[in-house]
Chains A and B, each alone.
Chain A
């Protein structure tokens, strides 16, 4: 049935995002899990949480794989089934979806889903290399195409086809830095000017330093349960009413279009149909702004504007905090930061805060429906989730 809750979020936690020196991923995840436990005193974690799915992209960072069991143990959940999901930067979007499957299967009533990444102790060239592993090796990486380079290829195509400007790209960064400035857990709580963004050094033309998201440490954790028992745990459950996921060719060169991510469009269509809503019904959205161009393309792929009009949407200020459709109120990947495995459920955390009116200085008034759009790599995976308050 359209719009029927699939599962309900009864609690959520987020570690501080930033450069968390001296901490291991498992320790950062424990911080996020602890916040989720504390927010939900009626839940007995050891008794009630039946399984854990955790998004984690790279074992290279800490020379540590087998993340599911590792973080479950450190979160005090020893012996429950614990599984890592990996879909590059959409790893915890996929964890959330795996959790939904677990609840809907009837095998588990209550599930923890989350994600973690510890990145900042590595050098920038090392991180660049690890992130590039989410792109095609034999034709993209082998020919010197970096991760920012892939999104730069999309940006050049978008600018050529639709007249999108470098200034419009920079406006995404300015907006998200303003929102991050209001978020006490954001990595970079600092406003920036348009001039600063536009004059920053070139990474992969037309993308400059301030068009790129941050290398960040962080973790996120969400507790979901069967809608029928959600009230046992909280008076204000947030229902997930739509879930979509799709894949695409690993190499962007094989795709029909470089100005849109087809996987995101398919995932969005699935989620909207399941939820029985239209794009214009969305009150607040977290979109995957790994690069500024990615946010502009996200607006279009999600149907928040027509194809080619993403640049105008940001220029008119419609996606600002006080605009018609606030996007990335958390500061997004750009300013809150992008610990890749943690990002998908960190987006869900922000939507949870918004729909339960706990977003403080960045609270969107009367937000009833939220959306999270999580992209893996250069678009070979995308997940879209739609959330509704009671």
Chain B
């Protein structure tokens, strides 16, 4: 990976587009940031390296969205949740490929990737989502 790469949210989503879940590891204190940040909130270092985050996790909490924003209306009702990954990292996203009534707190989930985006909304990042492991 290029040393020139910036540790930004935009770069995080560029990796998502390549099917990679990447975090920024602080070279000074070792804290892993997901999403990456340009300034370590623990030790204030600006030196990072990219680290690939294992995709498996477990569901911490969820909801079924019935009243959706305009751009998601055709998908409603849909499930979203927050998933616990390794290293105390957490990430929110949609839960797909499982019936809402089968979703349970604690269930194992894995991260999958959309490779293209059909939305017209700025800034047109590709999305990741969760599916049963």
- Interface residues in chain A, defined as those with a beta carbon under 8 Å from any beta carbon in chain B: 125, 128-129, 132, 138-146, 148-149, 152-157, 160, 201-207, 251-254, 258
We find that the number of chain B residues with CB closer than 8 angstroms to chain A is 31
- Give A151's nearest chain B residue, CB to CB: B63
Q: How far is the CA of A203 from the CA of B76 in the complex (A)?
A: 11
Contact of A203 among B61, B67, B82, B100 (CB under 8 A): B67
Contact of B67 among A148, A157, A206, A254 (CB under 8 A): A148
A37 to chain B, nearest CB (A): 41
Instruction: List, in ascending order, chain A residues with CB within 8 A of B90's CB.
Output: 253-254
A interface: dominant SS: helix
- Give A148's nearest chain B residue, CB to CB: B67
CB <8 Å contact, A153 and B63? yes
Instruction: List, in ascending order, chain A residues with CB within 8 A of B63's CB.
Output: 149, 152-153, 155-156, 204-207
Q: How far is the CA of A149 from the CA of B72 in the complex (A)?
A: 13
Within 8 A of A (CB), among B37-68: 60-68
CB <8 Å contact, A156 and B62? yes
- Interface residues in chain B, defined as those with a beta carbon under 8 Å from any beta carbon in chain A: 9, 13, 35, 60-70, 72, 75, 77-78, 80-82, 90-94, 100, 105, 125, 127, 129
A142-B127 contact given A149-B65, A156-B63, A157-B61, CB 8 Å threshold: yes
A160-B61 contact given A142-B127, A143-B127, CB 8 Å threshold: yes
Contact of A253 among B69, B75, B82, B125 (CB under 8 A): B82
Instruction: List, in ascending order, chain B residues with CB within 8 A of A148's CB.
Output: 67
A144-B94 contact given A253-B82, A258-B60, A258-B61, CB 8 Å threshold: yes
A131 to chain B, nearest CB (A): 11
Q: How far is the CA of A129 from the CA of B69 in the complex (A)?
A: 7
Q: How far is the CA of A207 from the CA of B66 in the complex (A)?
A: 10
Instruction: List, in ascending order, chain B residues with CB within 8 A of A139's CB.
Output: 35, 91-93
